[in-house]
Chains A and B, each alone.
Chain A
Amino acid sequence: MADAMLKVTNLESWYGESHILHGVDFEVREGEVVTLLGRNGAGKTTTMKSIMGLVGRRAGSIRFKGEEIVGLRPDLVARRGIALCPEERGIFASLDVTENLMLPPRIAEGGLDIERIYTLFPNLKERANSPGTKLSGGEQQMLAIARILRTGARLLLLDEPTEGLAPVIVQQIGRTIREIKALGFTVLLVEQNFRFAATVADRHYVMEHGKVIDMIPNAELERSMDKLHEYLGV
């Protein structure tokens, strides 16, 4: 088995006095698409933010390519080769589409150039000079993903990219994630929609009450449906 690109061990996180993560353990291997599944409030988004250094206090271990990053500032985490596409997309209203796209600096070789991005996301080229927040929800999500593909980061954290989008757009996001994987990127995906997750992921970690409680390989997802329904309350 390949070494883990990202290995999270006994991760705890706090927002102020609130203790959110209570010892999260999981790993992501290079080239995989791995999902964090769980109900609202299970700690999925906080796990993503903790990896990026965006929470108040963290303890435990986050190793990326063998290096401990748990104490690093967000910009230094990003410079190691991790990029976040946040929940709510994080499109800047005062920036047009091109400015949003070009905002993150290139941190390493291997990012997609702008022409390749426009080939993947043709709508963005047509709307290049529009304010970022004037795009449709689906286009904003494409922009948020495209933005981090430029940087050269090899591990992409996608936080609920399908949230609030029409089914046809969700399918499009799914195709995009599969293309990203084919290009060699590694993806950690937060999802509540496990049916969508099943179409893109290699493995699924299930979170509850700030901990990982199970890991289900995608190949076994069908056989684990009852268990999954119970975990997710669906």
Chain B
Amino acid sequence: MMMILGIPAPLLFGQLLLGVVNGAFYALMSLGLAIIFGMLNIVNFAHGALFMLGAFTAWGLLNYAGIGYWWALLLAPLIVGAFGVLLERLFISKLYKLDHLYGLLLTFGLALILEGLVRNYYGSSGLPYRIPSQLQGAQNLGFMIMPNYRGWVVLAAIVMCVITWLVIEKTSIGAKLRAATENAPLVQSFGINVPLMITLTYGAGVALAAFAGVLAAPIYSVNPNMGANFIIVVFAVVVIGGMGSILGSIVTGFGLGIVEGLTRVFYPEGSATVIFVVMVIVLLARPAGLFGRAH
């Protein structure tokens, strides 16, 4: 068996793949968080719960309406994104002129309510969601076995991250978003409906979380806590990448997933904490994060 640094290659690459898969979720989740923070200045603690709602919506579409994975990948983000729009209009929009702490408390409360409601109806043991037939099985790459679905998750996450980055960096809508992040009143005085843009941005950020939730449904059991398990790590990713930085979220998400995977191989005891160690080091060296702009 091929060995690398004294570690069997299949084990090393298996953990590396797991790291990249986790990194894909970190990137997608932190991308939504970064967009929302950049535009709304809201630390969206409900993001994990909305990720979970994405997975539950996919499960519900399948079990109540017979709608399978591929349509759910489109419909669940739209449904949960629309729910996000409602949340923004009803609650979050009332907080823009207040301190960050209010937004954090509100979204944390919303997360608890959403998780509690889902737990009440579906329990906390988790519900199964099958991998779509087209993505079952695995590929033998010689140095490792790669499950098709995990490969798909990484590919889908990369494509979604690139599309989001292109929209924000290379389109006129993205230019308006970036400008509004810097000086929203001035952008509004140019005749751009900034309140509507803010609402739709929140909806889009939430839709990204729901998209990640649908991707996660066949890998993790669909359960009310699946978002809460992610959200703390995802916040660390956002802080390391630089609050509000789109590129920072993507690069750091995948990067930290890989770091976590490698730590699981070389020092398993440290795998649960390595991201937070990195966060401390980065904050000491660059308080604005790797890609953030110091204010």
Count of CB-CB pairs between chains A and B under 8 Å: 60
Query: Which B residues are in CB contact (< 8 Å) with A78?
Result: 188-191
Residues in A92-108 with C-beta less than 8 Å from chain B? 92-95, 99, 102-105, 107
**In the complex the two chains form, is A92's CB within 8 Å of B192's CB?**
no
**In the complex the two chains form, is B190's CB within 8 Å of A93's CB?**
no
Given contacts A92-B183, A93-B182, A94-B181, contact A83 B175 (CB under 8 A): no
Query: Which A residues are in CB contact (< 8 Å) with B179?
Result: 92, 94-95, 103
**In the complex the two chains form, is A74's CB within 8 Å of B182's CB?**
no
Query: Which A residues are in CB contact (< 8 Å) with B194?
Result: 75
Q: Is A188 an interface residue (CB 8 A)?
A: no
Query: Which B residues are in CB contact (< 8 Å) with A77?
Result: 189
Q: Is B155 an interface residue (CB 8 A)?
A: no
Query: Which A residues are in CB contact (< 8 Å) with B189?
Result: 52-54, 74-75, 77-78, 84, 86
Supplied contacts A75-B190, A78-B191, A79-B191, 5 more A-B pairs, CB within 8 Å: A75-B191, A78-B190, A94-B182, A95-B178, A104-B191
Given contacts A92-B178, A94-B179, A95-B175, contact A75 B186 (CB under 8 A): no
Q: Interface residues of B, CB < 8 Å — how many?
A: 19
Query: Which B residues are in CB contact (< 8 Å) with A86?
Result: 186, 189
Query: Which A residues are in CB contact (< 8 Å) with B188?
Result: 73-75, 78
Given contacts A94-B178, A99-B175, A102-B172, contact A75 B193 (CB under 8 A): yes
Question: Hey, what's the 0/1 contact readout for B157-194 against A, CB within 8 Å counting as 1?
Answer: 00000000000000010011011011101111111111
**In the complex the two chains form, is B178's CB within 8 Å of A105's CB?**
no
User: Within the complex, which residue of B183, B185, B191 is in contact with A105, where a contact is CB–CB below 8 Å?
Assistant: B191
15 A-B pairs (CB sep. < 8 Å): A53-B189, A74-B185, A75-B188, A75-B191, A86-B186, A86-B189, A90-B186, A92-B183, A94-B182, A95-B175, A102-B172, A103-B179, A103-B187, A103-B190, A148-B190
A32 to chain B, nearest CB (A): 22
For B194, the closest partner residue in chain A by CB is A75
Given contacts A99-B175, A102-B172, A103-B175, contact A90 B191 (CB under 8 A): no
Closest 10 CB pairs of A and B: A78-B191, A104-B190, A74-B189, A74-B188, A94-B178, A99-B175, A92-B179, A90-B186, A52-B189, A75-B188
B268 to chain A, nearest CB (A): 41
Query: Which A residues are in CB contact (< 8 Å) with B186?
Result: 84, 86, 90
